[in-house]
Amino acid sequence: MAAIGTAKERERAERERAMRRRHLSIRVGGTGLGLLFLGGIVILVAPGYLTAMLVVIVLGVVLLVAALVVVLGAVRTLKSFPKTL
């Protein structure tokens, strides 16, 4: 019985780890999306800051890509578990 409990505990811990990665991805992606829109709006309002805002936009895109990479790993981990209620 101890081995079954240990396996269940490991599975639960792995699910929690995948959920934490998913939440991290949401925060990183939200930040990236915010930077992307902020850079676009500032370019429209104050074109004198074009270079700086292009850097902000590129940083936003990089954060969005990083968020996708993190969430894909979390989704793969969650899909590897058997479906239980």
| Tens of pLDDT, residues 44-55 | 888 888 888 899
From 55, 63, 77, 59, select the one nearest 26 (Cα to Cα). 63
Q: Is residue 3 part of a domain?
A: no
Q: What is the count of structural domains for the chain?
A: 1
Instruction: Please state, rounded to an integer, the average pLDDT across all residues of the chain.
Output: 83
Residues 6+ apart with CB under 8 A from 14: 77, 81
- Kindly report the pTM of this predicted structure: 0.69
Looking at residue 1, its amino acid is: M
| pLDDT(60) > 60 | yes
- pLDDT tens, 32-45? 999 989 888 988 88
Least confident of 15-19, 25-29, 39-43: 15-19
CA R_g for the chain: 19
pLDDT, mean of residues 1-28: 79
The reported pLDDT for the residue numbered 58 is 92
- Domain span at residue 44? 25-80
4 in Cβ contact with 70 (< 8 Å)? no
Instruction: Please report whether residue 2 resides in a domain.
Output: no
Average pLDDT over residues 67-77: 79
